[in-house]
Structure 1
Amino acid sequence: MTLAIVSTSDRPDLALTTGTWRWEAFYKDGGTELSEVLEGEAVAASSPDLLPTVLVLLEDDLPVGMVAICLDDLDGRPELNPWLAGLYVEPNHRGKGHALRLMSELETLARRSDIERLTLYTASAVSLYEKTGWRTIETFDDKGEEFHIMSKNLAD
């Protein structure tokens, strides 16, 4: 098994896959159209800037997971920029440490770009992030579900 992590700016052909994953995992039930998410994914893939960047984990050249660094992942909270967002691993590839690989690569990319802190929010993966030094700085309720805003200092 060969693992590699690439960005969609290096492999824009992966934007359809990452956009579909993003929509299915995070937007499908919220009324956002797939075409809107795919449009945003194409913009990220064509951007020469760090923000946004989508990283894709390839296993034997097949995409199995993704993560992004972006601005404004949570509406109305620009003071928390930049964000780790959209961490996703295909269900049949979970439990292999792929999420941790993607997080580590994204954190390395951010450090190399002199980013000292990242933020994320999650309702379901708090313990995953805590394993690697993320800490909850705030919680909020959205439609009866508790979300944790988490932060990680990268300067340590």
Structure 2
Amino acid sequence: MNMYQWIKLNEHPELMEETASWFSSKWGIPAVVYKESIRTGIIAKESIPQWYVVLDKNEAIVGGVGVIENDFHDRPDLAPNLCALYVEPEHRNQGLAKWILEQTRKEMHRLGFKQLYLITDHTSFYERYDWSFFTMVKEESGTTARLYQIATIN
């Protein structure tokens, strides 16, 4: 992944506004929600939440991911949760999502976590990268969702 740069937002607070807007444009959640979570991660430094982006050679954001305590489900004991993984369409099918997932697993291991969880309906995508179905959870909306897990790596 030589043409990409892994950025920890807690080390680059100057990217908070741009990153919050970028995630908002991808997921339809207000930028202020991302901004608050990113700000908390900048303050917390070595705990959750944490946010990461990938920059291309032109320093444009081409991918990103967050790790939050709970992705709005009824199992707070299953934490932390990966969220908001996104890779720009023109950068897909190059191994970038896999690399982002691996980097995130390494970061969570460094922070002392043994497992990482996520809620998804993109089951085949995550199963391709060794995520395992763990249990069904109830979301705040009342619907049930599949929760996956994976071990962190060093």
TM-score (norm 1): 0.80
Stretch of structure 1 that moved more, 45-54 or 34-43: 34-43
Structure 2 gaps of 5+ residues are: none
How many Å separate the matches in 2 of 1:152 and 1:131?
12
- Matched with 1:98 is 96
CA shift at 1:18, angstroms? 2.5
- Matched with 2:82 is 84
Q: Is contact 1:21-1:88 (8 Å) kept? A: no
CA shift at 1:90, angstroms? 1.8
How many Å separate the matches in 1 of 2:89 and 2:42?
24
- Matched with 1:12 is 13
Structure 1 consecutive aligned stretches of length 4 or more whose deviation exceeds 4 Å = 140-143
Deviation string 1:30-74 (CA, Å, 9 cap, x unpaired) is xx5433333333333343233111111111132211112221222
Q: Percent identity?
A: 23
Aligned to 1:126, which of 123, 126, 137? 123
How many Å separate the matches in 2 of 1:117 and 1:140?
17
- Matched with 1:24 is 25
Structure 1 gaps of 5+ residues are: none
Secondary structure of 1:80's partner? Answer: coil
Deviation string 1:87-145 (CA, Å, 9 cap, x unpaired) is 1112222222211111000101112233111110112x2112111211112246877x8
How many Å separate the matches in 1 of 2:7 and 2:69?
20
Stretch of structure 1 that moved more, 44-53 or 81-90: 44-53
> Structure 1 residues 40, 109: closer, same or farther in 2, change over 3 A?
closer
